[in-house]
Amino acid sequence: MGTSRTNGSLYTNIQNKIATVEFGHPASNSFVSELLQRLTKTLDELSQNEEVSLVVLRSEGDGPFCAGASFNELMAVSSQEEGTVFFSGFAHVLNAMRRCSQPIIGRVQGKAVGGGVGLIAACDYVFASVDAAVRLSELTIGIAPLVIAPAVERKIGLAGLAEMSLAPTEWKNAYWGKEKGLFSKVYDTRREMDKELDHFISQLGSNNPEALRELKKVLWQGTDHWDQLLPARAAITGNLALSPHTKKALEAFKK
């Protein structure tokens, strides 16, 4: 049972030095701007919490993992400034995940589109069910996955990014994601996935937290420039969202 709140939900539970962050939204676990801001703030706070060794990122329910950014908010963008602010939401979250002191373990139970793929790519280790298909559909509405591209490319390479983004209507299944490095493990059932996830985080979380933090730094070395890169990409995407082509495509999707 997922949330019915129009602004979405975000819950954090800390047990045995493991912080589980669960987000949800009635529209296929998509993100409105407020929810992105809350997730960014939560990750930054957890990063400073020395009592936390690991972060688990998951979404509500048994359906989609994440449908990306709010379609309704995208439809409402009417200026360059609004577009930049809108697309900066995922830029801030990805940078928060990158600079988070603790490794982030993703739990993906279903489909992910657009920004949802970016979230998966920014996790350090990902458990997925066989239902976890992924797609970058941005070109179908006249924009491009520019903000999340650095995170996706870092995980699956430039060729993988091209394969996904240039085929915006094509779903890639969970085993494709594992082969490319987007997923670390894929399971036939969610029950099996959760059982193995619980064992994994229990074992990993028992390690020296200082060692985990130092390893996290190494895993993300060479990405400090993302603080400037991702907001710049958000500005470009915001401009694309105002183009007549995009407005026409959005109207067609609305119908």
Per-residue pLDDT of 47-66, as tens digits, reads: 999 999 999 999 999 999 99
Question: Which among 83, 94, 77, 73 is positioned nearest to 27, based on CA atoms?
Answer: 73
Q: What DSSP character marks residue 69?
A: B
Q: Mean pLDDT over residues 210-229, rounded?
A: 98
Q: Are strands 125-129 and 104-108 parallel, antiparallel or unpaired?
A: parallel
CB atoms within 10 A of CB 76: 10
Distance separating alpha carbons of residues 27 and 114, to the nearest angstrom: 14
- Residue 205's contacts (CB-CB under 8 Å, 6 or more residues apart) are 16, 17, 18, 53, 54
The pTM score is 0.96
Share of the chain above pLDDT 90, in %: 89
For residue 255, what pLDDT is reported? Answer: 58
Distance between CA atoms of residues 81 and 47, nearest Å: 30
Residue 247 has a pLDDT of 83
The SS3 assignment for 17 reads: coil
Q: What is the pLDDT of residues 112-160, one digit of tens each?
A: 999 999 999 999 999 999 999 999 999 999 999 999 999 999 999 999 9
Give the model confidence (pLDDT) of 69-118 as tens digits. Answer: 998 898 889 899 999 999 999 999 999 999 999 999 999 999 999 999 99
- CA-nearest of 180, 74, 94, 193 to 134 is 180
Name the residue among 116, 135, 139 with its Cα closest to residue 126: 116
**Res. 7 pLDDT band, cuts 50 70 90:** confident
Q: From CA 66, how far away is CA 89, in angstroms rounded? A: 15
DSSP conformation class of 253: H
Q: What's the pLDDT band for 254 if we cut at 50, 70, 90? A: low
Band the pLDDT of 216: cuts 50, 70, 90: very high
> What's the whole-number average pLDDT of the chain?
95
250: pLDDT strictly greater than 90: no
Q: Out of 168-172, 201-205, 223-227, 241-245, pick the least confident.
A: 241-245
Structure-token pair, residue 107: 């739990």
Residue 1 has pLDDT above 60, yes or no: no
Starting from the edge strand earliest in sequence, which strands make up the sheet with 18-24, in order?
9-15, 18-24, 54-59, 104-108, 125-129, 185-187
Residue 244 tokens read as 């007549």
Q: Closest Cα partner for 54 from 127, 116, 96, 106?
A: 106
